Structure 1
Amino acid sequence: MKEISGHLSSVAVIGLGKIGFTLAAVFANKGFTVYGADVNEQVVNSVNDGKCHIKNEPGLEQLAQNAYKQRTLSATLNTPEAVKKSDVVIVIVPVLVDEQNNIDYQYIDPAVEEIAKGIKKGTLIIFETTLPTGDTRNRFGKKIEEISKLRMGEDFYLAYSPERVYSNRIIQDLGNYPKVVGGLDGKSLELASAFYEKALGCELIKVSSLETAEFSKVAECVYRDVNIALANELAKFADDKGVNMPEVIAASNSQPFSHLHFPGVGVGGHCIPIYPYFFINKGLNNGITSMAREVNDKMSDYAVLQIEKEIGSLENKNILILGLAFRENVKETTKSSTLLLIKHLREKQANIFLNDPLFNEDEIKSYGAVSLALNDKQLSDIDVLILQAFHEQYKDLDFNSFSNCKMVLDGRNVLNKEEIESLGMKYKGIGN
């Protein structure tokens, strides 16, 4: 393998989504020649034209332009070709769960097969995709051996280092968060650590095995899911007792050993609602981890029940949901609580309207709701307003437009209760 710190070192980044493309752009600005590989021709063409197909990531567009000018970043549909040119291969192709919450490898399995076709002796392969414990070694390492006829630990090196970033601040997080790194063996760990020291310059946490590194990422997500579920359970109990949960959280967390999370209408995204199943489906199927998933997924049902308690039957009621995205200021719908809200409201035979400034009308219609702009005259016909994702555009929302609205369900406990109630509407938060 070429010297990691050398001028000619090259990297293949497999998967040019939000995180993969950001990693590629960062590496390309750190002295590496980077070859991105993706199955999406539009993405590949965009990268090769020097354009940034990922939006709302501060600093990314400038990094992409710099790399284009310096000719340190290019993209291809041909994964084996990118791998052949590279000393280091970073794999950032998603592993998801299907509708039954079974682990879904449909994207990463073909990518690994393509990597195996291009790998040469001395290559370092690092998986950054969140994986079930053991997959780097037993599923993907062995598959690469089978296809390439090379031996891991002898002919190629294998490491795992999970991404630990947050949308809309990926570049910042790459520099600030410690990078957990695990290797197949001592040499793999040494090479991966040397690469990240140069490529990211962040603190490293070197762990004893691939499996420890894999486990640590899923454990982070389980921790958050369980603690959000606790907050949601307490919030429902607070509602029953007439207690203000946000006030409880502020008081309780003044004690340094209390870290109560905030309740809400549900948990969405690529991480928290998905990765706990990487434990649940591998044997951790009884106990707090699986219970937390059930609690959090039922919060949308709880929200709809709170509306029914206040205004009665929802049949033919006009209900507007604010936010299709799973969270504020991110154009992403994976496991969004809005999808569960739509399901429950449809069962109640309500008329479902949806607003999200990050999505166009056709995108919103594809989810089975009527798109409604915030300057539309139909706002006066809305009976119930549900806030699901508190986008920046909603901070100055004019509630006067909802002249016949009976109730506002604040799914994130962020709206002004006094303002809403002064207009004659019922305000209901989660535990508030």
Structure 2
Amino acid sequence: MSTLYDLDATTKDRTKVFESGEIPVAVYGLGKMGLPLAAVYAENCSNVIGVDIDPEVVNAVEAGDCPISGEPGLSALVEETVREGSLSATTNIKAAATESEIHVAIVPTLLDDDQNPDLSILKSLLKKVGAQIDAGDVVFIESTVPPGACRDEILPLLEEASRLNRGEFGLAFCPERTSSGRAIKDITGAYPKVVGGIDEASARVAQAVYESINDAGVIRVENATTAEMVKITEGLYRDVNIALVNELASVADDLPVNFREVTSAASTIPFINVHEPGVGVGGHCIPYYPYFVMNWLEGDFPLLRLARERNDRMPEFTIDCLQDQLASVGESLEGSRVLVLGVAYKPGVAETRATPAGPIINQLVKAGSEVFVSDPVLDDEKMGDFGGEVLPTSDILRMDLDAVVIVTAHEEFTEIDWTAFDPMVIINGRQSMSVDNDKHRIYTIGSGLESEGNL
């Protein structure tokens, strides 16, 4: 049995054998989170096979190129680890699993049509991996899964596929705690890694491996289910927090209150961290994780459902704000020429999953608006999938517009010369982006009407 999984081995023994490169590692999934993880693993143990079903991704990595954009330091790290022979890539799951002793799964866990957690991608992968693992191998799950999934779903699957019993191989849940645009920083020590094993040996292996990778250390929790709940709780906290400020932001006009001042002042005491209101919540995490509890565990969870409903309504609230502001100057949505600035869900990140831009564009089209879209981090094809006429950011100044809706606070948008536009209505959906111009009628969600403009 491997020194890693030997219960009598010391932490020093495990660290030494991991960092020596004697233990081959396979990282399954070379996406936005997986490739940075594989590269960091390779930097620390010099013996990593990255696995992905996309041949273009694999070919790029094999050539030392980085198919992921917007991640500082990643291109250089991929080039370096590939050149040194520390990192390779393949589409062959069976071959990688046969060769490796540490197996790291970081593939998507999405929702089905009924908003139930869909583990099919992860299960399909683990059936293939499990059929090749040997006694002493260890499986780390970095993919987010519902609480209890490792215990109730993944462990039995691996036992059946491998024909090994619990205790003959290791399994630990080690959730990624990584944000797009800062992946390497997060993986290597922005905050501690959380790990939880299905047994003592699994937990010790996970702790030793991730202490080698993460300078901030490891928080080892009681078991895999606890670690799963830690990851889910992080997302639920943010969803409920954002729902709170979105609800309060809806009354900014009536008070009136500038919520930029509210959040800034309220967050000056240690136990308060008020998020910012906005046009909605996007991405592959926060909009999904509430359903990992609501539609997986028994219970009603009224708070989680209400928060999700509130955040899902923000695109509609945004359209209502635009309609009200246009009406105040004698215009309507129908026939208006509206530019949507930002389709990606997050500044600087070419990711559109669950982006609030989608329902905003759909509602504008249904209302009869002539819609234009612009996003500096997305290609024309990806933007075009959402509808509207695609415009390069450099071309928007030539447009005769009735309104602009700012969905994403891309840095490039801060360079826009708003004085070059004729007076129009601007709905600023992100308080983090200032549009200080008396020429236009500007409504910022959470701050209300900031300029009546010259319309």
What interval of TM-score do these two structures reach, taking the shorter chain for normalisation? over 0.9
The aligned residue for residue 325 of structure 1 is 344
Change (3 A) 1:377 1:207: closer
The aligned residue for residue 94 of structure 1 is 108
Query: C-alpha separation between the residues in 1 aligned to 2:374 and 2:246?
Result: 25
**Residue among 168, 191, 196 paired with 2:205:** 191
Using the size of structure 1 for normalisation, the TM-score is 0.95
Change (3 A) 1:211 1:377: closer
Change (3 A) 1:162 1:284: farther
Query: C-alpha separation between the residues in 2 aligned to 1:378 and 1:394?
Result: 12
Summarize deviations over 1:31-58 as a string: whole Å, max 9, x none.
3300111111111111111111111211
Which one-letter code corresponds to 2:316 in the other structure?
D
The aligned residue for residue 351 of structure 1 is 370
Query: C-alpha separation between the residues in 2 aligned to 1:298 and 1:142?
Result: 40
Using the size of structure 2 for normalisation, the TM-score is 0.90
Q: CA deviation at 1:375?
A: 3.9
Q: CA deviation at 1:105?
A: 2.5
Q: CA deviation at 1:152?
A: 2.3
Alignment of 1:32-431 (within 5 A): 32-153=46-167, 155-174=168-187, 175-282=189-296, 283-312=298-327, 313-376=332-395, 379-403=398-422, 405-419=423-437, 422-423=438-439, 425-431=440-446
Query: C-alpha separation between the residues in 1 aligned to 2:208 and 2:112?
Result: 37
Q: CA deviation at 1:417?
A: 4.5
Query: C-alpha separation between the residues in 2 aligned to 1:377 and 1:205?
Result: 48
Q: CA deviation at 1:269?
A: 0.6
Q: CA deviation at 1:284?
A: 4.4
Query: C-alpha separation between the residues in 1 aligned to 2:264 and 2:394?
Result: 36
Equivalent position SS for 1:409: strand
Q: Give the length in aligned residue pairs.
A: 427
Which one-letter code corresponds to 2:126 in the other structure?
V
Query: C-alpha separation between the residues in 2 aligned to 1:321 and 1:140?
Result: 42
Query: Residues 278 and 430 of structure 2 are in contact (CA less than 8 Å); yes or no, is this contact kept in structure 1?
Result: yes
Query: Residues 124 and 188 of structure 1 are in contact (CA less than 8 Å); yes or no, is this contact kept in structure 2?
Result: yes
Change (3 A) 1:119 1:326: same
Query: C-alpha separation between the residues in 2 aligned to 1:218 and 1:315?
Result: 42
Equivalent position SS for 1:395: helix
Equivalent position SS for 2:446: coil
* Higher mean displacement: 370-379 or 284-293: 370-379
Query: C-alpha separation between the residues in 1 aligned to 2:233 and 2:337?
Result: 41
Which one-letter code corresponds to 1:322 in the other structure?
L
Gaps of 5+ in 1: none
Query: Residues 80 and 116 of structure 1 are in contact (CA less than 8 Å); yes or no, is this contact kept in structure 2?
Result: no
The aligned residue for residue 22 of structure 1 is 36
Which one-letter code corresponds to 1:308 in the other structure?
Q
Query: Residues 192 and 214 of structure 2 are in contact (CA less than 8 Å); yes or no, is this contact kept in structure 1?
Result: no
* Higher mean displacement: 212-221 or 169-178: 169-178
Change (3 A) 1:430 1:377: closer
Query: C-alpha separation between the residues in 1 aligned to 2:123 and 2:199?
Result: 23
Query: Residues 36 and 74 of structure 1 are in contact (CA less than 8 Å); yes or no, is this contact kept in structure 2?
Result: yes
Query: C-alpha separation between the residues in 1 aligned to 2:397 and 2:194?
Result: 51
* Higher mean displacement: 282-291 or 142-151: 282-291
Equivalent position SS for 2:387: coil
Query: C-alpha separation between the residues in 2 aligned to 1:190 and 1:415?
Result: 45
Equivalent position SS for 2:251: helix
Query: Residues 46 and 85 of structure 2 are in contact (CA less than 8 Å); yes or no, is this contact kept in structure 1?
Result: no
Equivalent position SS for 2:321: helix
Identity of aligned residues (%): 37
Query: C-alpha separation between the residues in 1 aligned to 2:124 and 2:205?
Result: 26
Query: Residues 2 and 87 of structure 1 are in contact (CA less than 8 Å); yes or no, is this contact kept in structure 2?
Result: no
Query: C-alpha separation between the residues in 1 aligned to 2:153 and 2:81?
Result: 34
Query: Residues 232 and 296 of structure 1 are in contact (CA less than 8 Å); yes or no, is this contact kept in structure 2?
Result: yes
Gaps of 5+ in 2: 5-13, 448-455
Query: C-alpha separation between the residues in 1 aligned to 2:396 and 2:445?
Result: 29
* Higher mean displacement: 373-382 or 386-395: 373-382
Equivalent position SS for 1:159: strand
Query: C-alpha separation between the residues in 1 aligned to 2:281 and 2:194?
Result: 25
Q: CA deviation at 1:268?
A: 0.6
Change (3 A) 1:200 1:9: farther
Query: Residues 184 and 210 of structure 1 are in contact (CA less than 8 Å); yes or no, is this contact kept in structure 2?
Result: yes
Query: C-alpha separation between the residues in 2 aligned to 1:377 and 1:166?
Result: 30
Change (3 A) 1:399 1:284: farther
Query: C-alpha separation between the residues in 2 aligned to 1:289 and 1:339?
Result: 23
The aligned residue for residue 9 of structure 2 is none
Equivalent position SS for 1:276: helix
The aligned residue for residue 452 of structure 2 is none
